[in-house]
Amino acid sequence: MNRLPLYFRFDEMVLGNGFLARVRVDGRATAEIQDDESVWIFGVFPGGLAEVGPDLNAAFSVFRHAFRAVLVDIATEKPTFKSFKAEVERFVHETNDEALAEWEEARRLVRAGHRPTESMPHDTADRKPGVKVVHLELQPSENRIAEDLRPLVAA
């Protein structure tokens, strides 16, 4: 089994009970490539998610959709933007020391030259995780073109 430390950015618009919000997460996850080549993605920031797929791209896609589903669930349950924002921030900051230690160890191995995959771009920056939840007004300027949504191997 090989582990990859991943950086990712999710930028989602969510319609709630009387509000529209943009949620932007600069996150971290660990991809575990199994012997059968299936891949588990374990969230580090946010830490409450784990998904599996037949390969890295499929697993990451399922992981992203699961994150979006959590946002929609929170938006459906919370009566106000303020309560939505508080719950999203709580969820995203949920992590544990073990997941963080595994991510750091995987990053250390990549930096030392262990490269389970060369096909993905690598990023040696020390990207800080973060979450930003913004209340939006419906404006044409909020339309956007999708960015490159592939994760980067943290190196």
Q: 87-133: per-residue pLDDT in tens?
A: 999 999 998 888 899 999 999 988 888 766 666 777 778 889 999 99
Bridge partners (DSSP) of residue 23 are 12, 133
- Within a domain: 89: yes
Q: Which is higher by pLDDT, 153 or 79?
A: 79
First-to-last CA distance in the chain? 18
Would you state the pLDDT for residue 90? 97
In a domain, 150, yes or no: no
Assess if residue 119 is contained within a domain.
no
Residue 90 lies in a domain: yes
- Specify the DSSP element, H or E, that contains 93: helix 81-93
As for how many domains the chain has, the answer is 1
How far apart (Å, rounded) are the C-alpha atoms in residues 56 and 53? 7
**Three-state DSSP state, 107:** helix
pLDDT at 50 over 60: yes
Domain region containing 39: 2-113+124-137
User: With a threshold of 0.75, does the pTM exceed it?
Assistant: yes
**CA 132, CA 13: separation in Å to the nearest integer?**
12
